[in-house]
Amino acid sequence: MADKLIIVESPAKANTIKKFLGGNTKVVASMGHIRDLPKSKLGVDVEHDFEPEYINIRGKGDLIKSLKSDAKKAKTVYLATDPDREGEAIAWHLAKILEENKEKITRVTFNEITNTAVQKAIKEPRKIDLNTVDAQQARRVLDRIVGYKISPLLWKKVKRGLSAGRVQSVAVKLIVDRENEIENFIPQEYWNIYANLKDEKSKKEFEARFFGKDGKKQEINSKEQVDEILKNIEKAKYVVSEIKKGEKKRNPAPPFTTSTMQQEASRKLGFTLKKTMSIAQSLYEGVKISDKGTVGLITYMRTDSTRISEEARAAAKTHIVSTYGEEYYENRYYKTNKEAQDAHEGIRPTYSDIEPDDIKEDLSKDQYKLYKLIYNRFMASQMKPAIYDTMAVNIKANEYDFKANGQNLKFKGFMILYVEGTDEKEEQEEGMLPELQENQEVKLIKMNPKQSFTEPPARYTEASLVKALEEKGIGRPSTYSPTITTILERRYIEKEQKQLVPTELGKIVNKLLTENFTDVINVEFTAKIENDFDEIAEGKEEWKKMIREFYGPFEKELEKVEKELEHVELVDEVSDVQCEKCGRMMVYKFGRYGKFLACPGYPECKNTKAIVETIDVPCPKCGAVVQVRKTKRKRNYYICENNPASCDYISWNKPKPGEKWNPEEAEEVKRETSKTVKKTTKKKTANKKTSKKSANTKKTEE
């Protein structure tokens, strides 16, 4: 019989905690959620003040029996689920399951899985925070209502099996709106004039950019303006009229929050949000390290705070001073966003003395990359700024002004270890200008006018979408990854390289939702709801009152939309392909695997066809048509239409006219595509067997 029973979510976390505790303590895992709303129905009693109808999750019966048995034998039961709203809700559900042992049950949390943190938590148990639980219940219930009430409209008007989620629908709207901006964008012409100049004394050349006239900035929008300026300075002398020398500091970025970690891992490592969070979870819960056993390497990875404990700050100082020297250390504090919950620290290594390269052999390749990113970012956050010598020069050519800027890195500071990435185009590092003097004449080598056009806004990437969601107050650290993963899986959006592009299905669903549910599917409403959840967590608002206030207007809007759409039918786009079975013109439909052609005579005629994309370059081997297909990971490949019957051409690279094909390059493509074909075939077979059953139990909310 164990004196103490500690329940966590995962076996990995249980294994890490076990080594810090005595032999009379048992640590077990709940394997995530133990109770939830049923999938087959709304599960919220609207008639009785929105009471949730929780049920035990299917397949967890034996685990629940085991947890009850362990709880009965223990003197104290510690619910040590994650230190956030979802973790608090899981602890509450566990307490409900173990109701008969409620006098033994207590709650503990720790931000990092270290001996000190775990032992401290065990000594300072508390009650379950019901306000935090209620905030999570409010989110769950509201999302269930929105999903289960709106989704049937999508089934009737677009396609069965579609679903609408409160946050996901707003994310799709942002992506569709951005695509519309790009499509409607009208480029505007503008010009820059660059002068290549030479300092005769040092023989160094440098570049100055046209600024304006008589000290006032001038925009150049046409070739005629360029020609006029060049004509007016055709015989001008280029004289240095002003020199400003100075010093510029560049400060380090703060420790990671969930969103900044996701953004940086996307930019620098090419990780998806889902992959980043999965790897971070493994680093937090524990990795087996040689001579150390299982070690939790980072603090809790769902946080919007940049706050750091004094113990961690002191450990960072010791490491920085001993590794780089006293001149590189600076004790830094960072302001946390006022909307942040600030329940946890920023993401940092739990042990400053465990450097990434020291444990590289114990980590997977991706674990090492992410741990190094987190470790270096945190250490850099406690270092001195980088210092540049700067020089700004104004050069007169008659009444016109040209400007040149230069800078030279004098002290690396934090940049010796880490430099933050950006989603914008990186500006090239400016070199130092020659040692010029005021009133000095410089020689013109070449004048270089350059025509440019304004560009549309960039499509969102996973990283920039997370940044936008955070800035607009949509979602919280725990929701960014599942939100984007869900809309990708539902095929409302897809990736082209790293860019997020709305599919035709996504555009149709977005149009239907935004035109008919303007009070729900909008940025301001979604941000307000997040603030309401925060108010509930702080005990300032009662969660059912919030749901009541939402549901009244929502129900009226739902009834109105149902009546308006009752006689509206979305017309399928007609193709130019004739059905070979019945002669009708086929229409475009959307399925699980994307867009396809279907006969409009269904159910009399059930003919369907895949949409085949082709290119205008013939097969390098046999001269037939080359098709463009996609692997499971959305990577394009090129294949002869006669493959495999009479031609084996297949390649990652788009063929060029007259190009010879090397059969050796096909092997990797064959391996990748054969996996895709096998998996797709298995999925289609399984779908046929379970289609009736899944139609009734399809999950339709976030």
**Distance in angstroms (rounded) separating the CA atoms of residues 86 and 657:** 57
Strand, coil or helix: what is 227?
Answer: helix
E strand segments, 75-203: 76-79, 105-107, 189-199
Task: Please give the sequence-ordered ranges of beta strands (E in DSSP) within 552-665, or none if there are none.
Answer: 574-578, 585-591, 594-598, 608-610, 613-614, 626-630, 636-640, 650-651
Structure tokens at 358: 């020291």
* Encoded tokens for 63: 């685990």
In degrees, to the nearest 5, what angle opens at C-alpha 61 toward C-alphas 60 and 67? Answer: 85
Q: Distance (Å, rounded) from C-alpha 424 to C-alpha 39?
A: 42
Catalytic residue positions? 300
Q: What's at 309, amino acid-wise? A: S
Residue 53 CA: distances (Å) to CA of 48, 94, 144, 228, 402: 11, 16, 12, 77, 71
Question: Do the strands 76-79 and 386-397 form a parallel or antiparallel pair, or are they unpaired?
Answer: unpaired
Q: How far apart are CA 63 and CA 77, in angstroms?
A: 16
Burial 261-300 (b: 16+ CB within 10 A, else e): bbbbbbbebebbbbbbbebbbbbbbbbebeeeebbbbbbb
Residue 684 · residue 610 · CB < 8 Å: no
**Contact between 599 and 605 (Cβ < 8 Å):** yes
Token output for 679? 């998996």
Q: In the block, which residue shows the tokens 């909310």?
A: 701
SS3 call for 51: strand
Containing 446, the helix (H) or strand (E) segment is strand 441-453
Q: What's the distance, CA 5 to chain centroid?
A: 37
State phi, psi for 436 to the nearest 5 degrees: -90, 165
Cα dist. 678→590, 628, 673, 684, 702 in Å?
A: 22, 19, 9, 10, 30
Sheet containing strand 105-107, strands side by side: 25-29, 4-8, 76-79, 105-107
**d(Cα 339, Cα 483) in Å, to the nearest integer?**
20
Q: 24-50 b/e with 16+ CB inside 10 Å = b?
A: ebbbbbbeeebbbbeeeebbbeeeeeb
**Do 172 and 474 touch, CB atoms closer than 8 A?**
no
CA 200 to chain centre: 52
**Is the separation of the CB atoms in 147 and 163 below 8 Å?**
yes
Instruction: Output the CA torsion 299→302→304→308 (10° steps).
Output: -10
Query: Within 13 A of 474's CA, how many CA atoms are on the CB side?
Result: 27
